Amino acid sequence: MSTAQIQQKENSFLQDFYSLTKVRLAVSVLFSAIAGYLLGADTIEFSKLVMLSIGGYCMVGASNAFNQVIERDLDKLMNRTKNRPLPAGRISVNMAMFIAVLLTVIGLTLLYILSAKAAMFGAISIFCYVSLYTPLKTKTPLAVFVGAIPGAIPFMLGWVAATNDFSIEPGTLFMIQFFWQFTHFWAIGWFLYEDYERGGFFMLPTGKKDTVTAKQIIIYTIWTILCSIIPVFGKTGSLHITPISGVLVFLLGMWMLYKAIILYKERTAKAAKKLMLVSVAYISALQIIYVLDKIITQWI
């Protein structure tokens, strides 16, 4: 085998590894975890950030790999997933399981070095995603509620990794991202409804793209906004933001709520996709605002 062929094979495996571990999703999760760490840490330690980043990626990658092993036959039925490494036959089930187990061990070990509590929450996240959320997706819309638990852990996990403590501060971060999950994933479930239907997945609360689902999206968007501005009022321990940051977060929330109302009025895949994109912008911007607020407040 020539050097060029070896390089091509390595690149192909790397691409399949990225697909198996869902690199884009993993990076967004890392963003949340790092934001949580920066909010919780009194002194930022680069070595801890590196361990959190690698451990967090391994945790998410393991969950996604286990998920794809379980759903490999269903993935063949959906357009967006049929070219994944397992349904396409580019990676064997044994190899995928080996990668998933290895990532679990590495991820939880690194998180344990940081904090025993962080490792515990990392293990809970993997368990909930793989053992509860994944099998429930084909049985009940309540799967989204279960899936919101591991989805909300990363923001909180960063704080716990920095402080080795779980109290009202990381609990608030968890609550924000927990309620946000519903707007985000129901929007995805709406514009990918037909594809999910081919795989037999129940992602919308009523199982349909109807007004009741749209109303629930609006309700959970409102809950997300309310939770996001709680730190303004000084009731969340050492987690607090200034009124200016609170106004910015509130305005971002109004933008997301506006898109949710548009979905209620139009009930189209296009409106749902726009809401999904705005929800991603919302949670990312919120985390940036929280971190910058802390930094600027300390400087002043």
- For residues 200 and 239, membership in a common domain is answered with yes
Averaged in consecutive runs of 10 residues, what is the pLDDT profile of the chain (300 residues)?
A: 52 83 88 94 90 93 94 89 89 93 95 93 94 91 91 93 92 96 95 89 88 96 96 92 96 97 96 96 96 89
* Pair (158, 55) in one structural domain: yes
Say what the pLDDT of residue 10 is.
Answer: 53
Please say whether the beta carbons of 212 and 257 come within 8 A. no
Taking the whole predicted model, whether its pTM rises above 0.85 is answered as yes
For the stretch 183-239, pLDDT in tens is 999 999 999 999 988 888 888 999 889 999 999 999 999 999 999 999 999 889 999
Give the torsion sign (CA, 64, 70, 72, 78): negative
In a domain, 234, yes or no: yes
Q: Note down the domain range covering 161.
A: 10-165
Rounded CA-CA distance 165/88 in Å is: 43
The predicted structure's pLDDT at residue 219: 97
Q: Per residue in 174-207, is it b (16+ CB within 10 Å) or e — as a string?
A: bbbbbbbbbbbbbbbbbbbbebbeebebbbbbee
Query: Which pLDDT score, from 0 to 100, does residue 24 have?
Result: 87
Q: Which residue has the tokens 């089930």?
A: 93
Q: Per the domain annotation, does 139 fall within a domain?
A: yes
Residue 4 lies in a domain: no
Instruction: Kindly state whether residues 112 and 249 are assigned to the same domain.
Output: no
Task: Give how many domains the chain has, as a whole number.
Answer: 2
**Separation between Cα atoms, residue 95 and residue 299, nearest integer Å:** 50
